[in-house]
Structure 1
Amino acid sequence: MSTIPKEEYLYKCTSACAGCSSSLCLRYVLKAAGPDTVLVVPACCTSVIQGIYPGTAMSVPVYNIAFAAAAACASGLSNALRARGKDTNVIVYAGDGGTVDIGIQALSGAFERGTDFLYICYDNEAYGNTGMQRSGATPLGARTTTTPGGKPTAKKDLDRIVEAHNPPYMATACSAYPLDLYKKVKKALSIPGPKFIHILAPCPPGWRYPTEKTIEMGKLAVKTGTWILYEREYGKLSISGPSKAAMKKPAPLEEYIKGQGRFKNLKPEILDLMRQQVEQNIQRFAREEEGQC
């Protein structure tokens, strides 16, 4: 951890929930990006935890933008800065609701135009800021305020949608592995063009687990193969270290879901489907890394 700078760009005492992993992620994102950075934040938890001006928790400029418009705003901002000869990092920091659902058209457009920016989706798998309604990123079987009996459909595969745009760099990360996240943000910002990082950000009130279990929950997601850490640089896939070990011998899926109230009273047939999805995903990534697809 000694390679991570001591400087802090996200100050203490935000209004985030106890155990909030998305604010932990943002802390390391900003450490990697440094002070010459502009954040574009649509409606999401981050737009609330930053505080009320002039008492903001952010020490870099922040554009608070409409739910659907984050990537469009970043596209114009990046072009304007580059036209002035500035290399300022332009980073969208958006939740899954504003990325997987509401903002996906602006994200697609910015990637198609080749915008020089980094889009980060911190994914707590529901609309956390407005009461934990289901989003396209909510996994199969998860209980939310709008799926009280458990979501009947699978999580939207956002990463394959982004991959179809052929970005020069995309990656996944998890709040439980901050050094991995830090390194991936550094690499992304060193590459010109549109970049994408998808972070799994466990949420205590939304996932219904004790606040002190946030890091443990993130590690279990990786160890069970539910969340696979990787990088895709100019189309070439590389599985990250923690997932390489997990994919060889994944921990039982039950270890991940049993501590989450959102999966309470999960039907056995749904658990079997979830297990199949995890196994198929592991096999797909393993085949691709070996060059078999």
Structure 2
Amino acid sequence: MNQISLLAPGHSGCAGCCDAMAAKFTLMGAGDNCIVVSPTGCLEVMTTPYPETSWDVPWIHSLFENAGAVASGIEAGLKALGKKEKTKVIAMGGDGATLDIGLQAISGAFERGHDFTYVCIDNEAYMNTGVQRSGATPYNASTTTSPAGKVSFGNPRPKKNMPAIIAAHGSPYVATTSLAYPKDMIAKVKKATEIEGPTYIHCHAPCTTGWGFDTSKTVEVAKMAVKTGLWPLYEMENGVVTKVRKLGKVKAPVEDYLKMQRRFKHLFTMEGGEEEIAKIQDIANMNIEEYGL
């Protein structure tokens, strides 16, 4: 396992940036013999302001919508050159580029069975362009396109279950991770890149800017999402859940997690907010039951 950061410091990410941490842990798990594809998003913008780069591995920028297709082409090219066995291909995109805009290309790549690993850095909105709602935005979160107000508690739709979508494609390995547990993420990335076929890692990545918390609290917020059951950590092999991180005897109430973030502040001030918090607690409870947390 490579313990040297292959993402150099000096990028323009925010203090406490989730993307920087997730990218660093991904590269630690994958090692230096890899090629990375990054679609448009915070990670791309902050690490590659022309003519500079923070990447100490080969890196290519794809369009917002086609990271899966570009990764497929790289993998096919390496196979044609006889180099695929030694070089790993990794696509690394945000939730907008993964769950929404890039879903078709990712689906095609997984359906064709290309040998690469896709890592979704999920900060639950389009942070690079102004905190707009994405398919990964959780229920009742306030964003610039799903704002809380007199007639709305925020985003009215549930978070899209991307790991289940990828598992339905027949992926041999799907795992959820959190930047709050780096050893877990590094180990899962390493495992994913060593398995033949299209594999998928979904990393929960709290965004200090879009979520509204102090820059020193990124890891603390991420841990609380796991402790409540709102973000279960598990592995799936060939469509079957094979390992989960247990919560232990004491779980944290979702209220403790929501209070840490400005995007949920309205739930504690608006009439009817208590009932909405209870609905979010139900989501956590369902996760706890479904995954045996």
Across the aligned residues of Structure 1 and Structure 2, the Cα RMSD in angstroms comes to 1.3
For 1:81, give the aligned amino acid.
L
Alignment of 1:144-183 (within 5 A): 144-149=143-148, 150-183=154-187
For 1:258, give the aligned amino acid.
K
Aligned to 1:33: 30
> 2:166 is paired with a residue of what secondary structure?
helix
> 1:183 is paired with a residue of what secondary structure?
helix
For 1:269, give the aligned amino acid.
E
Alignment of 1:205-216 (within 5 A): 205-216=209-220
How far, CA to CA, are the matches of 1:265 and 1:132 in structure 2?
A: 17
Aligned to 2:289: 283
Aligned to 2:251: 250
Do 1:22 and 1:175's aligned partners in 2 also have CA atoms closer than 8 Å?
Answer: no
Do 1:126 and 1:135's aligned partners in 2 also have CA atoms closer than 8 Å?
Answer: yes
Do 1:15 and 1:51's aligned partners in 2 also have CA atoms closer than 8 Å?
Answer: no
How far, CA to CA, are the matches of 1:6 and 1:61 in structure 2?
A: 18
Gaps of at least 5 residues in structure 2 are 149-153, 268-272
For 2:35, give the aligned amino acid.
V
Aligned to 1:52: 49
How far, CA to CA, are the matches of 1:11 and 1:200 in structure 2?
A: 22
* TM-score, structure 1 normalization: 0.93
Aligned to 1:9: 6
Structure 1 residue 114, shift from structure 2 partner: 0.3
How far, CA to CA, are the matches of 1:219 and 1:245 in structure 2?
A: 11
For 1:221, give the aligned amino acid.
A
> 1:121 is paired with a residue of what secondary structure?
strand
> 1:283 is paired with a residue of what secondary structure?
helix
Do 1:140 and 1:270's aligned partners in 2 also have CA atoms closer than 8 Å?
Answer: no
For 1:201, give the aligned amino acid.
A
> 1:67 is paired with a residue of what secondary structure?
coil
Aligned to 1:232: 236
Gaps of at least 5 residues in structure 1 are none
How far, CA to CA, are the matches of 2:37 and 2:262 in structure 1?
A: 32
Q: Deviations over 1:182-210 (max 9, x none)?
A: 00011011100000000000000100000
Structure 1 residue 238, shift from structure 2 partner: 2.8
Alignment of 1:103-182 (within 5 A): 103-149=102-148, 150-182=154-186
Do 1:41 and 1:63's aligned partners in 2 also have CA atoms closer than 8 Å?
Answer: yes
Instruction: Name the % identity.
Output: 47
For 1:184, give the aligned amino acid.
K
Q: Deviations over 1:84-106 (max 9, x none)?
A: 11131110000000011101111
How far, CA to CA, are the matches of 1:251 and 1:214 in structure 2?
A: 17
> 1:5 is paired with a residue of what secondary structure?
coil
* TM-score, structure 2 normalization: 0.93
For 1:279, give the aligned amino acid.
N
For 1:47, give the aligned amino acid.
E
Q: Deviations over 1:188-235 (max 9, x none)?
A: 111000000000000001000000000100100001101000111223
Do 2:7 and 2:23's aligned partners in 1 also have CA atoms closer than 8 Å?
Answer: yes
Structure 1 residue 154, shift from structure 2 partner: 1.1
Runs of 4+ in 1 over 4 A off after TM superposition: none
How far, CA to CA, are the matches of 2:172 and 2:2 in structure 1?
A: 26
For 1:230, give the aligned amino acid.
Y
Structure 1 residue 147, shift from structure 2 partner: 1.2
Structure 1 residue 120, shift from structure 2 partner: 0.5
Do 2:95 and 2:136's aligned partners in 1 also have CA atoms closer than 8 Å?
Answer: yes
Question: Is 2:267 the partner of 1:268?
Answer: no
How far, CA to CA, are the matches of 2:243 and 2:191 in structure 1?
A: 15
> 1:39 is paired with a residue of what secondary structure?
strand
Q: Deviations over 1:236-279 (max 9, x none)?
A: 31334xx3135x53211111110100001212222111111111
How far, CA to CA, are the matches of 2:168 and 2:199 in structure 1?
A: 13
Do 2:2 and 2:32's aligned partners in 1 also have CA atoms closer than 8 Å?
Answer: no
> 1:279 is paired with a residue of what secondary structure?
helix
Structure 1 residue 62, shift from structure 2 partner: 1.2
